[in-house]
Amino acid sequence: MTNTARHTTAIILAAGLGTRMKSRLPKALHRLGNRPMITHLIDTAREIFHDIVVVVGPDMPELEKAVQPYRTVVQTERLGTAHATNTAKDLFGDGDIAVLYADNPLITANTMRRLTEARQGGASLALLGMRPTNPGRYGRIVEEQGRVSRIVEYKDANEQEREITLCNAGVMCAGAADFRRWLAAIGNDNAQGEYYLTDVVAMAASEGRVQCVEAPETELAGVNSRVELAQAEATLQQRLRISAMEGGVTLVSPETTFFSTDTCLEPDVVVEPNVFFGPGVTVRSGALIRAFSHLEGCTVGEGATIGPFARLRPGTICAADTHVGNFVELKNVDLGPGAKANHLTYLGDASVGAQTNVGAGTVTCNYDGYFKHRTTIGARNFIGSDAILVAPVTIGDDALIAAGSTITENVPAGALAFGRARQTIKPDRGLEIKQTLKAKKEQG
């Protein structure tokens, strides 16, 4: 949190139902970068403000849980932004408050800081404005003689006012006592019959100076529909890609790489095209993530190679210099240094020792329909192709599992293990069967 001259509290309005999202999920919980929108805003706000209060709607337990440990208040009736803000008035404190919106998740800490500095620099009220490419239905910031005088909502604006390009982003900052007084005076004589928070701007302008802090549309554009959610995701992904590359990561095709907000890639990682990073991924220096791979909840060690077409699921740790190849899926696996699983393999709930080679088509049978069981494979093993390892089972160091084997018992260190049905050959019988089937088909 930044050091400021007076105590500051962020009031985040998050009671919106997301009607235009056509969703039963509260709007603030729709996800960007694999996290709820509101958590992006909270993480940024806590860098700037001393306290955070979230205004939620009734029957939103998931939202209240998502914003913990911050305090919440419930707006029981949705009567407009001023009404929502007034719901939290008992938690304003005695310093400054800033009103933020959960559907503006991409505001940067620098812009929030500029807002609070404008207020503490002497403005009776500071607000955020933008000049979007398409002003659309945003409220317009009206200036008279070079000073902000009021905000007019689009539905209440006349044709001349709708030509104004400076638009209201909704965010504003003023003294707590002033806000309480202004909110008490707001009426609902407007096209919506709601209590508009924007009405405080004219009140503040009549008492002192209102300062507009302009910021890019990419930061301030609201998210009210699935289309706008996708646009915000694109903005966030571009930020994350730039941050990764500036940190020493090579993205061969940046526009096809998708990050979560907590993705951690160390310098000298190389990411090929069409890679998706889910939550909780760390990739150490020098690793190569090859094309069309999907990683989630995993750690990739130094110098490892993952993919192409690999899937790493939660709980997986690939140590240094490991190789995970095409169409290999690992779930809750510890893959030891230098170990390899290069082709068409599923390893679940397993430990694989250093320098072990797992052949194509190997499967750990970890689930019996009720419980998960673990497979432990020692170091320097060779697991032949199409091996079926039925957990729980342990294979000691330096063992060899013959191709096509089904292993149901523990294998001692250094042993050879195989479990195959006996091969039987009946001369000419195959040709006879083929001729019989051909004749049946020709008869119809």
Peptide bond before 58: cis, by omega within 30 degrees of 0? Answer: no
Beta bridge partners of 168: 129
> What is the rounded CA–CA span in Å between residue 61 and residue 68?
11
Radius of gyration of the chain (CA): 30
The pair phi, psi for residue 383, each rounded to 5°, is -100, 110
> What is the rounded CA–CA span in Å between residue 435 and residue 427?
15
> What is the rounded CA–CA span in Å between residue 301 and residue 306?
10
Tell me the two tokens of residue 8. 């500051």
Tell me the two tokens of residue 72. 């919440």
Is residue 403 within 8 A of residue 385, CB to CB? The reply is yes
Note if 83 is an active site residue.
Answer: no
Tell me the two tokens of residue 93. 């404190």
Selected catalytic residue, list 7, 30, 40, 343 = 343
Strand runs labelled E in 161-293? 167-175, 210-214, 250-251, 257-258, 264-265, 270-271, 275-277, 282-283, 288-289
> What angle do helix axes 176-185 and 199-207 make, rounded to 10 degrees?
120
Active site members: 343
